[in-house]
Structure formats: structure tokens, C-alpha cells
């Protein structure tokens, strides 16, 4: 089962252009500055800087980063 993260605007509409497999990747798409994916994985200070920038953008643009409901397959149905 794959988890999908995206951004939701103030009206509750999902923003498909920001869809990704992790909240961290959604943050990289929201922030226009270039954040190195490797450095974000190994450096807590880099992650903190990105998280701070993402929170600012989400607050300013009335958005939220959300996990989309998973699409589960019903394995017991015929």
C-alpha cells in the first residue's frame, strides 16, 4: 500500500501538482528554493530549515500538507 502526500488549499481542494510519496518531497515542491534531497535525508538542520520554510508558505497561502486516503484493494471480493 503506497501512501501519497499532497497539498490542500483553504477550500479543501487537493493540489495534484504537489503530489508525492512523502511529506518531505511535497515540501520540496512547495518551496521554490533548491533543497538537496540527499542532504535533507542526512541532515536534521537542513530538514528543519525546509520545514520552517514550508510552514511559512502553508500559512501564507492558507494551505495544508495532507496524506491522501489510500486506495485499498478489496482482496476478499470476487
Sheet strands (E) in 1-78? 4-8, 14-20, 64-68
Considering only CA atoms, which of 1, 15, 11 is closest in space to residue 65? 15
Dihedral class, residue 36 (left if φ above 0, else alpha if ψ from -120 to 50, else beta): beta
- Terminal Cα distance for the chain, rounded: 20
User: Does 62 score more than 90 pLDDT?
Assistant: no
* 75 secondary structure, DSSP code: T
Give the start-to-end residue ranges of the domains of the chain. Answer: 4-66
pLDDT digits (tens, 9 = 90+) for 18-61: 888 888 888 888 887 788 888 888 999 999 999 999 999 888 88
Amino acid at each position: 500500500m503506497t501512501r501519497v502526500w499532497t497539498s490542500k488549499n483553504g477550500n479543501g481542494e487537493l493540489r495534484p501538482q504537489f503530489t508525492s510519496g512523502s511529506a518531505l518531497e511535497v515540501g520540496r515542491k512547495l518551496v521554490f528554493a533548491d533543497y538537496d534531497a540527499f542532504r535533507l535525508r542526512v541532515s536534521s538542520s537542513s530538514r528543519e530549515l525546509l520545514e520552517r520554510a514550508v510552514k511559512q508558505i502553508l500559512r501564507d497561502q492558507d494551505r495544508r500538507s495532507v496524506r491522501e486516503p489510500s486506495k485499498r484493494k478489496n482482496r476478499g471480493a470476487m
